[in-house]
Amino acid sequence: MAARTAAADTLTVMWDPSPDSNVAGYLVYVGTQSGSYSSTYDVGNSTSFGYPNASPGQTYYFAVAAYFPGPVIGTRSTEVAGTSNGTPVLVNPGTQSSVVGNSVSLQLVGSDPAGQPVSYGVTTLPPGLTITPSTGRISGTPTTAGSYLVTAVVSDGILSDSETFTWNVSAPQALPPVSGGSGDSSAPVITITMPTTGSSYVASESFVTFGGTVTDNGTVAEVTWSSDRGPSGAATGTGAWIAGVPIQRGQNTITISARDQAGNVSTKSVVVKLTGKTK
């Protein structure tokens, strides 16, 4: 006799027929504890039985006995156990905040208790964002300000789990006013430390994190990035800054710009070449 998972909430038990020609049918015993059976099913002359009420991830114990006219019930078989399909789990990413025109990337994290592959889906993303179902990565550049109630789903193909979170997209803020008459003519000094300190970098992923520092004899007002392939956005931070930059296949010139409160601007560029398989 053997037990196997047949569907999301069904466990199927199969056994060899009894060689006794006087057998009138079979009884199947089912329980959630070994040796203790809470349900009994008369399956007639069938040599298989699908238990339809299995809870996800629950282990069930089965035994089978033949019965004869009378009825006379024979000895129970050796017990077997089977565990129903477990529900995958999705981690709630929490409230997200973005700015119109700034690229974003969010990785959903889901898992299956049996280690089975999972796929992802999502509803009501802010306009401009999309998800890759096979990996669960949400990326893009939001185009419309607003507050969006997003529902994300992870599935093993049979069972699924969902989480709901808020994604706030705000309009770009106006730049702080440039101070006049300060006499400051020194431009900020930009240092790039990620992903390289050099002037070129070879990437194998379509999303590269840049980071570094900016020093100035006054106040650094903003740090921004732009690509000669089109996208641009604001970095997070000023003195120490970081930015996620989308990269397209081939050669991309990424320029980091820093502006101080007096209006002095400096730039520094890195040539990034995307090769190989991308996600």
pLDDT digits (tens, 9 = 90+) for 225-267: 898 888 888 888 888 999 989 988 889 999 999 998 888 899 9
Domain enclosing residue 150, as ranges: 89-170
Confidence tier at 3 by pLDDT (50, 70, 90): very low
- Looking at the chain, the whole-number percentage of residues with pLDDT higher than 90 is 62
Domain presence at residue 176: no
Of 118, 143, 170, which residue constitutes the final position of a domain?
170
Residues 215 and 255 placed together within one structural domain of the fold: yes
Domain presence at residue 231: yes
126 pLDDT more than 80: yes
Residues 98 and 57 placed together within one structural domain of the fold: no
Of 135, 170, 205, which residue constitutes the final position of a domain?
170
Residues 47 and 11 placed together within one structural domain of the fold: yes
Confidence tier at 116 by pLDDT (50, 70, 90): confident
- Looking at the chain, the whole-number percentage of residues with pLDDT higher than 70 is 92
Residues 214 and 263 placed together within one structural domain of the fold: yes
Residues 62 and 99 placed together within one structural domain of the fold: no
Domain presence at residue 182: no
What is the model's pLDDT at position 182?
54
279 pLDDT more than 60: no
What is the model's pLDDT at position 119?
95
Domain presence at residue 178: no
Residues 228 and 270 placed together within one structural domain of the fold: yes
Residues 75 and 101 placed together within one structural domain of the fold: no
Domain presence at residue 269: yes
Domain presence at residue 47: yes
Domain count, the chain: 3
Domain presence at residue 20: yes
- The answer, as to whether pTM is greater than 0.85, is no
Q: How far apart are CA 86 and CA 109, in angstroms?
A: 17
Domain presence at residue 180: no
Residues 215 and 250 placed together within one structural domain of the fold: yes
Residues 111 and 166 placed together within one structural domain of the fold: yes
Looking up residue 50, the CATH number of its domain turns out to be 2.60.40.10
Of 40, 56, 83, which residue constitutes the final position of a domain?
83
| pLDDT per position as a tens digit, 45-86 | 999 999 987 887 788 999 999 999 988 999 999 999 988 888
| pLDDT per position as a tens digit, 153-182 | 999 888 889 999 999 999 887 555 555 445
